[in-house]
């Protein structure tokens, strides 16, 4: 046998022995773990999730839970979001390291439930009612009258406004520097339908009510209740030089545009699970889409927008209003923090140069240069605009057409294959309710639970109230592509397509899908 062949044989033998020793060590470790669990009478819950923002929160919650429940330990497992439900199903069916509970967005709950991956919640702790959660949260986790998850976090939309700009305008009006009445388009000239015009009492110019009003304006009184209010305000507001749009939002994403249809379009009912409750094309939705199209004619910005760009433009002072999701809270705080840090850095630089001047003396030839540098730094400080922002409920589509935002809920779901369901439900309740006050701080996601402790009037509180009035994303598997089709339809209407024909086409398409299913 050649030396080379001998070497190969020896290598194979070594590899085989190493493999045997490793497998023996692994089996011994597993056996020791099982013995330890049996001795201490512990049970292990595996918790799957796909969003790494939950990692810190879940890790700390698992430790805290084990401290008060030594018989149960929870192991959070971050997994890929690609084909998430399929991965849970495959692991559960093959009985290989499957999750006892997991986080799932509410629109996938029907799919999970029908696959046997979501158990009916027994509500052992009697907290799944409107005392502790908004109705929208409970609707989001309800499937055919059964609760199949604990609401954990949510996303929805609100109006965001530049509080600095608005307050400045209110102050100028109260000081007599600017009039609160415009000379442009009046309510009579607004494009109301016949039904709407009959419901509105038009005020005569110079009415007694207006003449008698001597109360100063307040910021709260000028926050728009409808898009009509924004239109009327555009006639009265003298825009700052930076302002390019009075209002601008992402018209390409259904999350920020569903509000224009949400109060009148029905997709599965409030709980989003009934195929018999589908009503996309009706008199009110058509009127809403007509108003939507008119907004582009009024505010004149194209559909080549993105949420990131519109939010960045708004935060830089280019718009007075926009429509945002909850990430805007942290984004605005971060932008202001960066600006404040920049100002502090510039102020420190000015102080250093003033120190240099004091050391050189006024007669020094370098003093003039230093003063010029100080002037430049001061100019940069003066040009750094730090704005204060406010949040408010989404405006009505028109004064006579209500709006209703879309919401998406992340729920904690108990796997139907789990043999530890009571313990799993106990942990689900623990993180969704007992840990609610820490959710936003650790994840950047707002808690569904009303006991999260958000201060009255705070941005977080405004979003949670908006969530309470929202419509959850539908669970219907048959209508799963509605959101993509709706985005296309909204973009077409914004760009000038006929609202009635576009909405009728969308309705026919979705209904044909339901019949085919």
Tokens representing 65 are 């839970």
What number is the average pLDDT over the span 90-117? 96
Residue whose C-alpha is closest to residue 110's, from 80, 85, 133: 85
**pLDDT (tens digit, 9 = 90+) per residue, 18-41?**
443 334 433 443 444 455 444 457
Q: From the DSSP assignment, how many helices (H) and strands (E) are in the chain?
A: 18, 15
**pLDDT (tens digit, 9 = 90+) per residue, 390-402?**
999 999 999 999 9
What are phi and psi for residue 202, nearest 5 degrees?
A: -80, 140
Cβ atoms < 10 Å from Cβ of 223: 19
How far, in Å, CA of 492 to CA of 474, rounded?
23
pLDDT for res 40: 53
Residue whose C-alpha is closest to residue 412's, from 183, 133, 68, 5: 133
pTM score above 0.75: yes
Pairing of strands 319-325, 142-143: unpaired
Residues 6 or more apart whose CB falls under 8 angstroms from that of 66 comprise 72, 73, 74
pLDDT tier, 196 (very low <50, low <70, confident <90, very high otherwise): very low
How far, in Å, CA of 323 to CA of 331, rounded?
14
pLDDT for res 495: 94
Q: Is the separation of the CB atoms in 248 and 301 below 8 Å?
A: yes
Indicate the helix (H) or strand (E) that contains 322.
strand 319-325
pLDDT for res 201: 41
Q: What percent of the chain has pLDDT over 70?
A: 85
- Residues in the chain, overall count: 517
How far, in Å, CA of 55 to CA of 36, rounded?
26
Q: Burial, 26: exposed, middle or buried (Cβ in 10 Å; 0-12, 13-18, 19+)?
A: exposed
Residue whose C-alpha is closest to residue 405's, from 307, 266, 259: 259
pLDDT for res 516: 62
Cβ atoms < 10 Å from Cβ of 439: 22
Domains present along the chain, CATH in parentheses: 41-155+408-460 (3.40.190.10), 162-197+217-319+396-404+481-516 (3.40.190.10)
Q: Is 149 helix (H, G, I), strand (E, B) or coil?
A: coil
Whose tokens are 């194209």? That residue is 302
pLDDT for res 511: 85
Residues 6 or more apart whose CB falls under 8 angstroms from that of 98 comprise 46, 88, 91, 92, 415, 417
- What percent helix, strand, coil does the chain show, rounded to 5? 50, 15, 35
Residue 187 scores a pLDDT above 50: no
Pairing of strands 389-392, 146-147: unpaired
Q: Is the separation of the CB atoms in 62 and 389 below 8 Å?
A: no
Lowest mean pLDDT of 31-40, 230-239, 312-321, name the range: 31-40
pLDDT for res 412: 98
Residue 207 scores a pLDDT above 60: no
Backbone angle region of 480, left / alpha / beta, with phi > 0 → left and psi within -120 to 50 → alpha: alpha
pLDDT for res 362: 65
Tokens representing 95 are 């009985």
pLDDT for res 190: 37
How far, in Å, CA of 326 to CA of 332, rounded?
11
Residue whose C-alpha is closest to residue 146's, from 343, 516, 416, 505: 416
Q: Is the separation of the CB atoms in 381 and 343 below 8 Å?
A: yes
Q: Burial, 246: exposed, middle or buried (Cβ in 10 Å; 0-12, 13-18, 19+)?
A: middle
What number is the average pLDDT over the span 450-478? 96
The mean pLDDT of the chain is 87
Residue whose C-alpha is closest to residue 117's, from 101, 128, 96, 95: 101
More confident residue, 146 or 15: 146
**pLDDT (tens digit, 9 = 90+) per residue, 253-307?**
999 999 999 999 999 999 999 999 999 999 999 999 999 999 999 998 989 989 9
Q: Burial, 95: exposed, middle or buried (Cβ in 10 Å; 0-12, 13-18, 19+)?
A: exposed
How far, in Å, CA of 299 to CA of 148, rounded?
43
What are phi and psi for residue 408, nearest 5 degrees?
A: -125, 130
Lowest mean pLDDT of 16-25, 114-123, 324-333, name the range: 16-25
pLDDT for res 330: 97
Q: What percent of the chain has pLDDT over 90?
A: 72
What number is the average pLDDT over the span 208-225? 75
């Amino acid at each position: 046998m050649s030396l080379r062949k001998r070497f190969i044989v020896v290598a194979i033998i070594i590899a085989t022995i190493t493999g045997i020793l490793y497998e023996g060590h692994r089996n011994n470790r597993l056996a020791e773990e099982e013995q330890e669990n049996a001795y201490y009478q512990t049970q292990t819950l595996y918790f799957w999730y796909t969003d790494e923002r939950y990692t810190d929160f879940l890790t700390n919650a698992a430790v805290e839970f084990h401290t008060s429940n030594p018989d149960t330990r929870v192991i959070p497992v971050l997994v890929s979001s690609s084909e998430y439900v399929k991965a849970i199903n495959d692991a559960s069916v093959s009985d290989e390291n499957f999750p006892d509970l997991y986080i799932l967005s509410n629109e996938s709950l029907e799919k999970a439930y029908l696959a046997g991956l979501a158990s009916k919640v027994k509500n052992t702790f009697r907290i799944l009612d409107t005392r502790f959660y908004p109705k929208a949260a409970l609707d989001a986790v309800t499937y055919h009258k059964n609760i199949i998850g604990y609401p954990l976090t949510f996303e929805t939309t609100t109006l965001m406004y530049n509080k600095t700009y608005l307050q400045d305008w209110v102050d100028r009006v109260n000081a007599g520097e600017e009039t609160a009445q415009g000379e442009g388009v009046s309510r009579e000239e607004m494009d109301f339908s016949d039904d709407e015009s009959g419901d509105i009492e038009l005020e005569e110019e110079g009415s007694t009510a207006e003449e008698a009003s001597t109360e100063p304006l307040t910021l709260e009184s000028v926050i728009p209740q409808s898009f009509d209010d924004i239109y009327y305000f555009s006639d009265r507001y003298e825009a700052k030089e930076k302002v390019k749009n009075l209002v601008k939002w992402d018209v390409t994403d259904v999350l920020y545009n569903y509000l224009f249809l949400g109060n009148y379009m029905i997709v599965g009912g409030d709980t989003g699970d009934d195929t018999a409750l589908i009503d996309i094309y009706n008199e009110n939705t058509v009127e809403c889409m007509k108003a939507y199209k008119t907004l582009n004619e009024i505010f004149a910005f194209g559909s080549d927008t993105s949420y990131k760009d519109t939010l960045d433009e708004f935060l830089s002072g280019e718009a007075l209003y926009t429509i945002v999701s909850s990430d805007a809270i942290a984004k605005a705080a971060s932008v202001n923090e960066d600006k404040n840090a920049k100002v502090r850095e510039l102020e420190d630089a000015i102080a250093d140069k003033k120190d240099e001047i004091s050391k050189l003396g006024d007669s020094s030839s370098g003093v003039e240069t230093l003063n010029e540098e100080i002037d430049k730094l001061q100019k940069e400080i003066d040009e750094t605009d730090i704005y204060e922002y406010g949040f408010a409920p989404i405006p009505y589509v028109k004064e006579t057409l209500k709006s209703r935002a879309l919401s998406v809920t992340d729920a904690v779901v108990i796997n139907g294959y789990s043999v530890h369901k009571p313990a799993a439900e106990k942990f689900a309740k623990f993180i969704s309710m007992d840990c609610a006050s820490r959710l936003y701080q650790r994840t950047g996601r707002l808690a569904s639970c009303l006991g999260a402790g958000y201060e009255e009037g705070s941005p977080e509180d405004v979003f949670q109230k908006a969530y309470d009035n929202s419509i959850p994303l539908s669970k219907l598997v048959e209508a799963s592509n509605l959101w993509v089709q709706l985005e296309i339809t909204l973009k077409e209407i914004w760009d000038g397509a006929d609202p009635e024909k576009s909405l009728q086409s969308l309705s026919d398409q979705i209904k044909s899908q339901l019949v085919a299913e």
